[in-house]
């Protein structure tokens, strides 16, 4: 039954997976691994109280179960007892320091609490164990960006080029770096690439709209000194239904023409 529940969970059918787990528990066929899975599923289904119950049973039978302890910690954080939750997460990584997933879970929870530096330390641990882990690389890049450590963020984001799962978000990081450095042309390029990659992998992603907005902002910065009328048109492109990429190219051409005209007059 454990394998059946794990397969259902891996396929994304969390409710069916938990149903299998609950049947096993009712039939008294559950071992600590089943209760650990129960805690994990409860967290994914936004039931932190249920996760604590399952984790407690797993830990009563198997006190060294680091995964159950980590899930208990995350559940406690969600229930509003952050200090106790972090203690449990730290105890889990201390008990099994070679488990990258435990460091990742701890980093994710700390990041959610706004503890960026502490989260970065955990993701760094993940990368010590799995240097090419794309999720951890992306998380580290985004945290460096939040902390204003732009060189570190850029180095990591560039390393994600070619990663099917994370390159779009890596380009998004590069775009934000360019904006912070007042390099709007570079930001336009990065956000356009992110949008294209997003469309290729998931045409319905919400990030496409965010990237399009950021492209418009970047172009506005690019041409703000060239022509007030062009800036006005950029700001209102979305209302007229202009596609972001086409709008970017057209506005950039107009801005270039404006600059060339002013040069000739000068």
The C-alpha atoms of residue 68 and residue 170 are separated, in whole angstroms, by: 32
Give yes or no: residues 76 and 168 share one domain: no
In a domain, 141, yes or no: no
Give yes or no: residues 169 and 228 share one domain: yes
Q: Quick one: pLDDT band at residue 239, thresholds 50, 70, 90?
A: very low
The C-alpha atoms of residue 14 and residue 7 are separated, in whole angstroms, by: 10
Question: What is the model's pTM?
Answer: 0.76
The number of CA neighbours under 13 Å toward the Cβ of 184 is: 14
Residues 6+ positions from 83 with CB-CB distance below 8 Å: none
Q: Indicate the range of 66-75, 206-215, 218-227 predicted with least confidence.
A: 218-227
Give yes or no: residues 242 and 183 share one domain: yes
The C-alpha atoms of residue 262 and residue 67 are separated, in whole angstroms, by: 66
pLDDT given at position 84:
98
What CATH number does the domain containing 46 carry? 1.25.40.10
Select the more confidently predicted residue: 212 or 180: 180
Give me the mean pLDDT over the 106-115 stretch. Answer: 97
Give yes or no: residues 86 and 10 share one domain: yes
Give yes or no: residues 184 and 106 share one domain: no
In a domain, 140, yes or no: no
Give yes or no: residues 167 and 230 share one domain: yes
Q: Give the tens place of pLDDT for each residue, 120-177.
A: 999 999 999 999 898 999 999 999 999 999 999 999 999 988 887 788 889 889 988 9
Give yes or no: residues 184 and 115 share one domain: no
Q: Which of 73, 108, 131 corresponds to the end of one domain? A: 131
pLDDT given at position 147:
94
Give me the mean pLDDT over the 193-214 stretch. Answer: 69
Quote the mean pLDDT of the chain: 82
Q: Which of 89, 115, 131 corresponds to the end of one domain? A: 131
Q: Which of 113, 131, 149 corresponds to the end of one domain? A: 131
The C-alpha atoms of residue 124 and residue 232 are separated, in whole angstroms, by: 44
pLDDT given at position 213:
65
Give yes or no: residues 75 and 5 share one domain: yes
pLDDT given at position 222:
63
In a domain, 77, yes or no: yes
In a domain, 156, yes or no: no
Give yes or no: residues 191 and 255 share one domain: yes
| 3-state per-residue secondary structure call for the chain | CHHHHHHHHHCCCHHHHHHHHHHHHHCCCCCHHHHHHHHHHHHHCCCHHHHHHHHHHHHHHCCCCHHHHHHHHHHHHHCCCHHHHHHHHHHHHHHCCCCHHHHHHHHHHHHHCCCHHHHHHHHHHHHHHCCCCHHHHHHHHHHHHHCCCHHHHHHHHHHCCCCCCCHHHHHHHHHHHHHHCCCHHHHHHHHHHHHHHHHHHCCCCCHHHHHHHHHHHHHHHHHCCCCHHHHHHHHCCHHHCCCHHHHHHHHHHHHHHHHHHHHHHC
Give yes or no: residues 26 and 87 share one domain: yes
Q: Quick one: pLDDT band at residue 82, thresholds 50, 70, 90?
A: very high
In a domain, 236, yes or no: yes
Q: Indicate the range of 139-153, 190-204, 216-230 predicted with least confidence.
A: 216-230
Q: Give the tens place of pLDDT for each residue, 8-67.
A: 888 889 899 989 888 988 888 778 899 999 999 999 999 999 999 999 999 999 999 999
Total domains, the chain: 2
In a domain, 153, yes or no: no
- Phi-psi region for residue 80, left (φ > 0), alpha (ψ -120 to 50) or beta? left
Q: Indicate the range of 53-57, 189-193, 216-220, 258-262 predicted with least confidence.
A: 258-262
pLDDT given at position 73:
98
The C-alpha atoms of residue 127 and residue 114 are separated, in whole angstroms, by: 21
Give yes or no: residues 117 and 202 share one domain: no
Give yes or no: residues 60 and 120 share one domain: yes
In a domain, 1, yes or no: yes
Residue 258 structural domain: 162-266
Q: Which of 209, 218, 258 is nearest to 238 (CA)?
A: 209
In a domain, 62, yes or no: yes
**Percent of the chain predicted with pLDDT > 70:** 75
């Amino acid at each position: 039954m454990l394998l059946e529940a794990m397969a259902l969970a891996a396929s994304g059918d969390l409710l069916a997976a938990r149903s299998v787990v609950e049947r096993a528990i009712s039939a008294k066929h559950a071992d600590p691994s089943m209760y650990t899975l129960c805690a994990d599923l409860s967290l994914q289904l936004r039931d932190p109280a249920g996760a604590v119950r399952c984790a407690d049973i797993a830990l009563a039978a198997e006190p060294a179960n680091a995964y159950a302890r980590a899930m208990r910690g995350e559940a406690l954080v969600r229930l509003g007892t952050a200090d106790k939750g972090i203690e449990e997460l730290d105890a889990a990584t201390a008990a099994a320091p070679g488990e990258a997933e435990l460091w990742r879970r701890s980093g994710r929870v700390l990041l959610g609490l706004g503890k960026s530096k502490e989260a970065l330390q955990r993701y760094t641990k993940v990368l010590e164990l799995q240097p090419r882990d794309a999720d951890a690389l992306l998380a580290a890049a985004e945290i460096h960006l939040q902390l204003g450590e732009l060189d570190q963020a850029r180095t990591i984001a560039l390393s994600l080029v070619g990663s099917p799962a994370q390159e779009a978000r890596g380009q998004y990081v590069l775009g934000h770096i360019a904006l912070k450095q007042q390099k709007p042309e570079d930001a336009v390029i990065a956000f356009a690439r992110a949008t294209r990659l997003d469309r290729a992998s998931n045409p319905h992603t919400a990030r496409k709209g965010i990237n399009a907005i950021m492209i418009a902002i970047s172009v506005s910065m690019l041409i703000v000194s060239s022509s007030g009328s062009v800036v006005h048109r950029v700001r209102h492109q979305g209302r007229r239904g202009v596609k972001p990429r086409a709008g970017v190219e057209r506005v950039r051409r107009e801005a270039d023409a404006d600059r060339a005209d002013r040069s000739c007059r000068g």
